[in-house]
Amino acid sequence: VGPSLGEEIINRWGFPWLVNGALICLVISLILVLVTKELPREELREEAVASGPENSWKYASWFILLFIGLMPVVHGSVRGAMIYFMPLLVNSLNLGRVGPFFIIFSAAAILSRFRFGGASDQYGRKKVVFLSALLIAVNLVLISRINSQGLLLTTGFLGGLGQGLIFPALSAYLIDFMGRGNKGLAISLYNSFFDVGMGLGSIFYGWVSELVGLKQMYLAAGLLLLAVNLVFNFIAPEPGQLKKTA
């Protein structure tokens, strides 16, 4: 929603009001945080005890930890490629405004979380992470073949669907891996790795796009995500597995 809304604000009132709008949203977010009630500490302790003392990360090798951390970094990098470079691609192909793409992307991501957000509870964290990352990778390859408005909107839907599936599954995997008593740390690490990926991705994929073009850049992003996804699926342990075999 943000990119499409930002595009509309820029077209109507210019960049200064884009900054003003972002500031207004930030103030609203601050107000919502201030009025949100804290979960009682007694409930937090009970949840940590009930979840058990599983802390698989303490028994993992540095190699395994590297690829577990690399997954959200690469995920963040391709997410950044979608946000930062899609307007440039759409403009270069003369496919109109990019707003509809982001609206469909956001709608698919939100609706899929409502409908399938608990899929990893039923089918397993790694299975859902693998399938959703595979969907995102295939979608990036499709983006490299975009030649019409219809295909553009289709990739928006598929990308949003993949994003809506991978975010809850991968964050839940990290919570299980770190131990539910370390839920705050796990979510913080996930968001930190994701943000690092978005930052580095804008630099890396910008460099790639200058070398081979925007379409081939998305192809490279899809292949990179596919490779990391395959390695993650093979070496990332199931939560609690390392402790049982240590």
Alpha carbon distances (Å) from 244 to 15, 58, 60, 239? 56, 12, 12, 10
Is 38 within a domain? no
Is 183 within a domain? yes
pLDDT 10s digits, 64-92:
778 788 899 999 999 888 888 998 999 89
3-state secondary structure of 39: coil
pLDDT classification of 162: cutoffs 50, 70, 90 = very high
Is 121 within a domain? yes
pLDDT of residue 143: 94
Percent helix, strand and coil across the chain, each to the nearest 5:
85, 0, 15
Report d(CA 59, CA 13) in Å as an integer: 55
pLDDT of residue 245: 46
Domain range for 79 is: 55-245
Q: Please give the mean pLDDT across all residues of the chain.
A: 83
> Is residue 148 pLDDT above 60, yes or no?
yes
* Radius of gyration of the chain, Cα coordinates, nearest whole angstrom: 20
Is 228 within a domain? yes
**Quick check: 9 and 17 in contact, CB under 8 A?**
yes
pLDDT 10s digits, 116-141:
777 888 888 889 999 999 999 999 99
How much is the average pLDDT of 100-113? 89
Residues 6 or more apart whose Cβ sits within 8 Å of residue 180? 47, 48, 51, 52, 54
Tally Cβ neighbours within 10 Å of residue 246: 9
pLDDT of residue 41: 59
CATH number of the domain encompassing residue 199: 1.20.1250.20
pLDDT of residue 50: 45
Q: Residue 68, Cα to own-chain centre: how many angstroms? A: 14
pTM: 0.80
Tally of domains in the chain? 1
Report d(CA 108, CA 115) in Å as an integer: 10
pLDDT of residue 218: 95
pLDDT of residue 174: 87
What secondary structure does DSSP assign to 100-117, as a single string?
Answer: HHHHHHHHHHHHHHHHHT
Is 25 within a domain? no
pLDDT of residue 219: 95
Report d(CA 128, CA 135) in Å as an integer: 10
Is 176 within a domain? yes
Q: Using the Cα atoms of residue 226, residue 228, residue 230 and residue 236 in order, give the sign of their dihedral.
A: negative
More confident residue, 214 or 42: 214
Task: Report the range of poorest mean pLDDT among 46-50, 56-60, 96-100.
Answer: 46-50
